[in-house]
Amino acid sequence: MLRRRPAPVISRTRAAIFGLLLALAVALLVSPVVPAQDSLHEGEIAPATLIAARDAQFESNALTQQARDNAARQVADVNLPPDPAIRQQQADALDKLFTELRTIRFSGLTAQQQLVELNSFPGAAPLTAAARADLIALDRAQFDAFRDRAARLLTDVMTAGVAKGETAAAVDIQIAKIDNSSLPLADQQALQAMLPALRETVRAFAIPNVAVDVAATQKKKDAARANVTPVIATFTRRQVVASQGQQLDAAAIEALKQTGVIRDGFDFYRIAGGALFALGFGLALSMFLYQLQPFPVSGGRRLAATAIAMVAALTAVRIILPNVAPDREQLYLAFAIPVAAAAMVVASVADLSFAAIVAVAIGIGAAFIAAVWPDLAGSGFVGSLEALELAIAYTAGGLAGALVVHRAERLSRYALAAVAVAAATGIVVTVFWLIGEPRNNNRLAWALSAAGVNGLAAALLALGAFVVLSVVFGVTTRLQLMELAQSGHPLLRRLQDEAPGTYHHSMMVGALAERAADNIGADSLLVRVGAYYHDIGKLAKPPFYIENQLENAASPHDAMAPTESAAAIREHVTAGLELARRHRLPGPVRDFIPEHHGTRLVTFFYRRAMQTTPDLDADAFRYSGPRPQSKETAIVMLADSCEAVVRAHQGQSRPSLEDLVDGVFAERLAEGQLDECDLTMRELQEVAGSFKVTLRAVYHPRIAYPTPVPEELARIAQR
């Protein structure tokens, strides 16, 4: 009888969608799909000494603009004529001050009282305290001369015009024009003595009375700009364009663009290159996914977790790497990025072979991102040797971590994984340190420290993802299975107390199936746990099953028709699924409950019914299935049948035991119960051989001991 190949868990369509979505995500990470997003900008600091990537001679718009701005700044403002009204206003204000000052000065008050009166006069507010004191100190002759000089000087200053912000300069200019050469020497000395007070007083009352002629000034500035010839900039290849730490102005940014150091706008060649890489990346992963079929039945959530882990790792590289490279200080921080966590997550939800493929793919993808983004051609962001080192280090760390955490059943394996990732990464960076120049012990210390951080961070992230997968994605983890395998689980406790025969049968099936699964590379932990819970539905009616009936006790089936008995027996599948749902057993464990019987008949009662009703409908005695969909559930089906058959024939010779096992396998094949799982004939032979060894060890012949002789009984009684 030809066996149908079971339908793949990951169909071509699902694999193609996975590859397409992965390619799209990678394309966004490796292609500059946003214009100018890989450029430096004006005002930023040059991250390194930037040198011209090519010869360039160009008309520099930035330098030309700078030259024109300088020429415009040198043009003096064109002022409108002075406003005579403002001049007269200030002259009147000064005259009022001196009129009030004369009244105060010659009122007979003391100097201190005069100063108090002057301070209270609003017209004196513009004067400084020193200028007020100087005015109070003037005698009558000095006062009149000072008043005349101040009035003439203020008139001259305001007539010449005072521009905004130039009051002091305008006063000084007019003071410098005073010609006292014709005065007597005594008058010259008196005038020289009063100049400081005169300067301060006039400055206090001289205010701007001219405005800028905006139109005329702008016309002169435009003319000055137009007279500036364009500036031609010339650079040769390898010439320094900007030094490290230099603040980049518009001219530097323009030169960096013209010399090919940075790019602006869309680079369609780079976009096309990134798109092709992403397409190949996604296509390769989808092909390996379909061919390897690394997930168990219903692997959709595991596939989603795989995609998220891969995209997250590459995104981390894309975000972190520009902040730690180029590694000018040789701190090796790029090697501390926990890229290995992606392969470790995949190893916890898929076969090791696919996790290894993911480790290689992530290493190559991360190195590609490092080599092309961001692209500062003049700074040498990441060279080809550095990209190769990153690729090998990331790949080695991922492979080591995946190997250790695959089918991890204890948290200690994650600690071991941290050491493995750190060691693998450390070995790679040490190799490149040995072949590099110059060799520096501090560099090696930093490299090994980064490798250690990588291992620790990758293990912690993988462990965190492990927990998230079980909670958010509903993915069954190894730790969950280990917890279910403990005898203290409520369902196993109930089996021990309420259905001890079923409990011991389940333990025996678990031991039988676990060893066989190990021999063919199936998931032995899942097999053992599935075997423990495959018959939990018998808790609904324990006495209905022979293993739970007391010796010589009446069976409930004695008073039932075969169809009723078969229905009662079949109910343990639906009852088991309900118990599994209530106790939230993971999906892969629940699958063992219906699949360990497949679509077989309740043979004992079917054959009994056939004795009286030959034309009986067999479907009334058939389990609803489905047939085993995986190697693991198929192994438990075979182990369940073999254990039951051999137990029923205890005391048979060794060849008889082997014949019983072979008979069970032949019967299941003939019934087509194994048609929908991926067990091969070679694996079936391995499983059958394992069953025979285990069953012979359990059901071996035992020696019948003679009854005690009278002398032995007498000695026992004496004690």
Q: What is the per-residue pLDDT across 201-217, written as a single tens digit (0 to 9) for each?
A: 888 888 888 888 888 88
Least confident range from 97-101, 333-337, 522-526, 613-617: namely 613-617
- Nearest CA to 424 out of 467, 460, 395 is that of 395
Query: For residue 591, is pLDDT > 80?
Result: yes
Q: What secondary structure does DSSP assign to 174-186, as a single string?
A: HHHT---TTS-HH
DSSP 478-512: HHHHHHHTSTTSHHHHHHHHH-HHHHHHHHHHHHH
* 122 and 21 fall within a common domain: no
* Same domain for 438 and 334: yes
Domains: count for the chain: 4
Beta strands 56-59 and 50-51 are unpaired
Say if residues 106 and 98 touch (Cβ distance below 8 Å). Answer: no
β-sheet bridge partners, residue 595: none
CB atoms within 10 A of CB 384: 9
The reply to whether 528 and 664 lie within a common domain is: yes
Q: Is residue 73 part of a domain?
A: no
Q: CB within 8 A of 644, min separation 6: which ones?
A: 505
Which residues are CB-neighbours of 112 under 8 A, at least 6 positions away? none
What's the chain's average pLDDT?
83
Q: Give a yes or no: residue 503 inside a domain.
A: yes
For residue 669, the enclosing domain spans 498-698
The position carrying tokens 């009147």 is 92
Alpha-helix runs per DSSP H in 373-440: 384-405, 412-435
Residues 168 and 200 occupy one common structural domain = yes
Q: What is the pLDDT of residue 427?
A: 94
Question: Coil, strand or helix: which one is 45?
Answer: strand
If we measure between CA atoms, which residue out of 358, 72, 334, 364 comes closest to residue 227? 72
Over residues 461-488, the mean pLDDT reads: 79
- pLDDT at 511 exceeding the cut of 50: yes
| Higher pLDDT pick, 435 / 380 | 435
Which helix (H) or strand (E) element contains residue 240? strand 240-242
Give the separation between CA 354 and CA 18, rounded to whole angstroms.
Answer: 14
How far is the CA of 387 from the CAs of 45, 370, 424, in angstroms?
25, 6, 17
Angstrom distance (rounded) from CA 225 to CA 217:
12
Residue 1, pLDDT > 50, answer no
Structure tokens, 563: 């169809």
Angle of helix 185-205 versus helix 84-105 axis, rounded to 10: 120
- Answer yes or no: is 372 within a domain: yes
Residues 329 and 399 in one domain: yes
CA quadruple 301, 302, 304, 308: dihedral sign: positive
Pick the last residue of a domain from 247, 262, 277: 262
Q: What is the pLDDT of residue 36?
A: 42
Answer yes or no: is 218 within a domain.
no
Is 211 among the domain residues?
no
- Are 541 and 573 contained in the same domain? yes
Give the model's confidence band at 75: pLDDT under 50 very low, under 70 low, under 90 confident, else very high.
confident
Q: Which residues pair with 290 in a beta bridge?
A: none
More confident residue, 600 or 436: 600
Among 458, 350, 351, 481, CA closest to 398: 458
Mean pLDDT of 437-458: 83
- AA letter at 676: E
| Residue 78 within any structural domain of the chain | no
**Domain's final residue, options 475, 509, 538:** 475
Do residues 662 and 641 make contact, with C-beta atoms less than 8 angstroms apart?
no
- Cα–Cα distance for residue pair 586/128, rounded to 1 Å: 91
Q: Would you say 36 and 257 are in contact if contact means Cβ atoms under 8 Å apart?
A: no
Please check whether residue 549 is in contact with residue 505, taking contact to mean a CB–CB distance below 8 angstroms: no
Q: What is the pTM of this model?
A: 0.59
Q: Which H or E element spans position 522? A: none
- CA nearest neighbour of 692 among 649, 668, 718, 662: 662
pLDDT over 90, % of the chain: 30
Is the residue at 314 inside a domain?
A: yes
Q: Would you state the pLDDT for residue 280?
A: 93
Average the pLDDT over each of 33-47, 202-216, 493-507 and give the range with the smallest value. 33-47
Position 536 scores a pLDDT of 93
Q: Which residue pairs from 429-432 have beta carbons closer than 8 angstroms and sit at least 24 positions apart in sequence?
A: 429/332, 429/335, 429/389, 429/393, 432/385, 432/389
- 413 shares its domain with 375: yes
Distance CA 113, CA 129 (A): 14
Do 175 and 255 share a structural domain? Answer: no
Name residues whose C-beta falls within 8 Å of residue 655's C-beta, 6 or more positions apart in sequence: none
Please report, as a single letter, which amino acid is at residue 649. Answer: H
How far, in Å, CA of 352 to CA of 347, rounded? 6
Taking the C-alpha atoms of residue 537 and residue 503, their distance in angstroms, rounded to an integer, is: 12
Distances (CA, A) of 372 to 30, 40, 50: 7, 15, 17
Residue 488: C-alpha distances to residues 44, 493, 531, 667 (Å): 64, 6, 16, 36
Interval 85-128: pLDDT, tens? 888 998 888 889 888 888 887 777 888 888 888 888 888 888 88
Are the CB atoms for 171 and 199 separated by under 8 Å? yes
Residues 416 and 270 in one domain: yes
CA distance 634 to 624: 16
Confidence of residue 663 (pLDDT cuts 50, 70, 90): very high
Q: Is residue 580 part of a domain?
A: yes
Residues 322 and 432 in one domain: yes
Query: Is the same domain home to 280 and 371?
Result: yes
Residue 267 pLDDT class (50, 70, 90 cuts) = low
607 plus 655 within the same structural domain: yes
